[in-house]
Amino acid sequence: MLGFVLTPIYELMVTLKDLVAISTGSACTSTSYTPSHVLKVMGMDDDQANACVRISWCHLTPEVDWEAVADRIRTLR
């Protein structure tokens, strides 16, 4: 999980959605917009958990252009 304190998390998700699989929850709840129950169990409060995203990729997904991901994140500052 990655945390982004200064960026509205849904803006980040929209910005990156065509580059990587991204969600606010676990893989089992990737269609949900609620905070990850795993992060809550780890001791994060709702604000902290809501500032985190999960970025996923595997051998079945196209190769991720991490430079493009970083460039897009930089535009959100």
Instruction: Report pLDDT digits (tens) over 2-59.
Output: 666 667 888 888 999 889 888 877 665 555 667 778 888 999 888 888 888 888 887 8
Q: What is d(CA 30, CA 48) in angstroms, rounded to the nearest whole number?
A: 18
Domain count, the chain: 1
Does the pTM exceed 0.75?
no
CATH number for the domain that contains residue 45:
3.90.1150.10
**1 or 66, which is more confident?**
66
pLDDT for the residue numbered 24 = 77
Q: What is the mean pLDDT of residues 62-75?
A: 90
| Structural domain for 11, as ranges | 2-75
Residues forming the active site: 28
pLDDT for the residue numbered 32 = 61
34's CB contacts (< 8 A; 6+ apart) are 24, 25
